[in-house]
Structure 1
Amino acid sequence: MTHPTSGRPDAADSPADPSASPSSASSAEPVARHVEDATDDGRRRTIRSFVLRAGRMGTGQQRALETLGPKFVLPYQAAPLDPGAVFGRQAPLVLEIGFGMGAATAEIAAGRPDTDFIGVEVHTPGVGSLLKLIGENGLANLRIIQHDAVEVLEHMVPPGMLAGVHIFFPDPWHKKKHNKRRLIQPSFVNKLVTRLSPGGYLHCATDWQPYAEQMLEVLSAEPALVNTAEGYAPKPAYRPLTKFENRGLKLGHGVWDLVFTRR
């Protein structure tokens, strides 16, 4: 559901079976640039945790981009965002990194009208899909930024602005040699935590157990975060249980939620 989730299929539509997870499919890419690696000559290079791929656009998605995009898609800017000006009110703000096709994002926004949401996604069909849902459901508390989430965090989100962050089903990068591309890494989490207000929460979810274990290790090691559970958390009521997830659970497959708060 990255950039952190992303060009991947909607996290709300992600199956709980890791062997069949859309987050590992060829069309999947989470949304973040978060890892630096050394080249042979000692220079630093950035490793992206997403890969942009072409996707098909439906007529409804294309129409939504044209008609609703100017109002609901915020342009990337190298300057702090003013949520009050964007939403016309003062309300808690939650950032979602990588919302896929946006079904869960729209459902969460509809169920929490007193909270404002900004979804970050690089995949154009996903942006079009969520815009279509915004129009169909009249969601005034939801906006989109189509850009690299790390740059959004660095330049548009000042410290302490966020009441919450959602990262649902980011690409697990199954192969060990690709694990460094995973979104949830210490350096990224440290940057993310600074954008949370005291008491703000970080909610991650994955259907890939090795990634869940890494998430738990990384989040538990961040001194500014406190786990709300003994290990993995029960699924919060606001996160929709999708048909794919429900099917996987009935087959005995796992989904792991992690909810931490900032000290």
Structure 2
Amino acid sequence: MNDPQASTASASCASPDTAAPVYRRTVKSFVLRAGRTTSGQARAFAEQGPRFLLPYRAAPLDLAEAFGRSAPTVLEIGFGMGDATAHIAALMPQTNFLCCEVHEPGVGALLKRIGEQGLTNIRILQHDAVEVLQHMLAPGVLAGVHLFFPDPWHKTRHHKRRLVQPAWAACVAERLAPGGYLHCATDWEPYAHQMLEVLGAEPRLRNTAVAADGFAPRPAYRPLTKFENRGIRLGHGVWDLVFARG
């Protein structure tokens, strides 16, 4: 999601082994939210944090070292309370999931699920995913990127705060390996069409959808959230987009 203080989309996508320019005001991947960490989540930080939390550093991340194995790695941007993340990680044990979320109760909730479900293929960065993309991930290292239900910034004057912008799409495309994918989902139709336009204009990305409207069916690995189920009952739509790196 986006930072409510951000106002421009000038995020750099310099390679992590080169000095990137510093921008004081850039689109971020999050909105800071109020929330209280429960005792169970705090306990999960203490018990699971040392193994599954990674520190942010403006330097290339050795994924094999971080996960203790070499495997395809998917970056998940803004996992909320971690329900979908834990579900997908359990379905895909041969894939590594590098997950970014700044909301402390959400991080604690996912750490709690990791312990309860015995998941070993998740690592968490409690940091802005835009900076992780820019500074910690080398070109071509990702097998996939998940962006599920980012803040749509409904008002027209706030559209520039949306995460999916040309500079961000270029950054993602550079970090994806050939054949890697970007999966976005949103329940806000105007944002869905903006995503379609922005991603379709990135020359290194190819829309995998066969439908004439350019949207993809929900991949089987993405579960329906409680919020999404409620929206469907009320007649609200959900749009999935799946693009592949050429």
What's the TM-score once normalised by structure 2's chain length? 0.88
Q: d(CA) in 1 for partners of 2:237 and 2:166?
A: 24
Match of 1:242 among 225, 231, 234: 225
Instruction: Return closer, same or farther for 1:233/1:187 CA change in 2, 3 Å cut-off.
Output: same
Match of 2:25 among 46, 57, 76: 46
Kept in 2, the 8 Å contact 1:34–1:188? The answer is no
Shift of 1:251: 2.6
Shift of 1:208: 0.4
1:35-74 to structure 2, matched below 5 A, reads: 35-36=9-10, 45-49=24-28, 50-74=30-54
Q: Percent identity?
A: 67
Instruction: Look up the match of 1:16.
Output: none
Match of 2:72 among 92, 97, 102: 92
Kept in 1, the 8 Å contact 2:7–2:160? The answer is no
Instruction: Look up the match of 2:115.
Output: 135
Superposed CA offset, 1:138-178 (max 9, x none): 11000100111111111110000000000000000001111
Kept in 2, the 8 Å contact 1:33–1:149? The answer is no
Consecutive unaligned residues in structure 2, runs of 5 or more: 12-22
Instruction: Look up the match of 1:256.
Output: 239
Q: d(CA) in 1 for partners of 2:160 and 2:221?
A: 30
Shift of 1:88: 1.7
Consecutive unaligned residues in structure 1, runs of 5 or more: 4-28, 38-43
Kept in 2, the 8 Å contact 1:77–1:156? The answer is yes
Instruction: Look up the match of 1:104.
Output: 84
Counterpart amino acid of 2:143? A
Counterpart amino acid of 1:35? A
**Counterpart secondary structure, 1:218:** helix
**Counterpart secondary structure, 2:146:** strand
Q: Which of 1 and 2 has higher RCO (CA within 8 Å, sep 6+)?
A: 1
Kept in 2, the 8 Å contact 1:34–1:187? The answer is no
**Counterpart secondary structure, 2:244:** strand
Counterpart amino acid of 1:105? T
**Counterpart secondary structure, 1:170:** coil
Root-mean-square deviation (Å): 1.9
Q: d(CA) in 2 for partners of 1:35 and 1:161?
A: 24
Shift of 1:67: 1.6
Matched, 1:124 2:104: yes
